[in-house]
Amino acid sequence: MDLRDKHIVLGLTGGVACYKAAELCRGLLKEGATVQVVMTEAACRFITPVTMQALSGRPVFTSQWDDREANNMPHINLAREADMILLAPCSADFIARLAQGRADELLSLMCLARPAARVPLLLAPAMNREMWSHPATQRNLQQVVADGATVLGVGHGDQACGETGDGRMLEPDEILQDVIAALQAPSLRGRHVLVTAGPTYEAIDPVRGITNLSSGKMGYAVARAAREAGARVTLVSGPVSLPAPRGVARISVRSAREMHQATLAEAPAADVFIATAAVADWRVANAAQQKIKKDGSGAAPALQFEENPDILADVARSDRARSGALLCVGFAAESEDLLANAQAKRLRKGVPLLVGNLGPATFGQDDNALLLVSEQGVEELARDSKLALARRLVARCASMLDGGRIHAG
């Protein structure tokens, strides 16, 4: 429940995307937030206040003259009570109102009256593709961003008018991720974080290969947590069935050599490298060009192995890592003697921080337990969701960057 104890004002403006606001409201509540819905007159044409009241569990406000507030100032009271104001959908007309500083109805009044230093304003635009690309809309968007609002962007696809293009409101889950991210501490703002995740796949023949049980969930959680912390994130991922975290640039690879090549190409621009991937130590040197078939003799094919490149060690040996310009964090997935193996691997790889976990107890799971091993000592992170642990790891990385404690020891 990432939004526990948070109070979100959800503002709806006129547009068919109001139907998505119903699901978004439910999502906010499931994450622990309380939701106060405020609707413009135009929004009430697309979805009723009764529906939003039933979903939010609170009376919906639609008028600046609503006398349910003792002082008759809902635009002041609602803005002061909020941890965030989220406009979803936000129409082209309402973006223009914000850009002009108009305040002739409740929602625009409330946005203008919000304590801007404490209450962020997030916009999820929704409109026809031509309206979205119109110079006036783009000019208004630039102005509202300059005035302190955050524009979440739009989706691409089929539109209610029958056309296809940019301008669709983002899906509720995408907006929810952005809301959660906006309320996290921006400890890595301005940084570039490079993450590897998932398994690698080493071919035996065109239809068979050697891999492991890594699901990629820990690495994807780390990528999401780094993005929440304000970083620009590049994720080099082996073959997994997970969608890329919102706002994260993913590079999909298959083998260890492909991951090695992609990682070393990205590392020179990174400030932090977190190697969560479960990379195969060996590959088949004599992989067959065609499917290996049984011949009835009972004899197994003779496979020859050669060692894969060591991605973490190669990055850690780079000039930027040695000089302290790049913080390298390794992962160790062990099956026994976790502390001893993690300590030995940290020294062998030459990295400031090594994260140990027991592979059989975490592969494919949504939770994990971690051991953080550094020159300063050992810290145990008790079993928790992988995202919660990822946020703690990212906070540790930010602290190391700020404190300059990034030497391998």
Summarize pLDDT for 178-192 with one digit per residue, the tens: 999 999 999 999 999
46 token code pair: 């697309």
Give the separation between CA 115 and CA 99, rounded to whole angstroms.
Answer: 17
Q: What is the pLDDT of residue 299?
A: 86
Q: What is the pLDDT of residue 404?
A: 62
State the pLDDT at residue 339.
86
Instruction: Determine the distance from the C-alpha atom of residue 213 to the mean position of all C-alpha atoms in its chain, rounded to a whole number.
Output: 23
Delimit the CATH 3.40.50.1950 region(s) of the chain.
Answer: 7-182
Q: Which distant-in-sequence residues (6+ apart) come within 8 Å of 20 by Cβ?
A: 88, 89, 169, 171, 172
Distance separating alpha carbons of residues 34 and 97, to the nearest angstrom: 27
Q: Is 227 exposed, middle or buried (0-12, 13-18, 19+ CB in 10 A)?
A: buried
Residues in the chain with pLDDT values less than 50: 407-409
Write out the residue limits of the CATH 3.40.50.10300 domain(s) in the chain.
192-403
Q: Is the pTM of this model over 0.85?
A: yes
Which residues form the catalytic set?
Answer: 161
Continuous H helices in 267-337: 311-316, 319-323
| Arch. (CATH architecture) of 192-403 | 3-Layer(aba) Sandwich (3.40)
In this structure, CATH architecture of domain 7-182: 3-Layer(aba) Sandwich (3.40)
Do residues 16 and 160 make contact, with C-beta atoms less than 8 angstroms apart? yes
pLDDT score, position 405: 54
The radius of gyration computed from the CA coordinates of the chain, to the nearest angstrom, equals 25
Q: Which two tokens stand for residue 100?
A: 């002009």
Using an 8 Å Cβ cutoff, are 329 and 350 in contact? no
Contact 120, 93 (CB under 8 A): no
DSSP-based three-state secondary structure for 100: helix
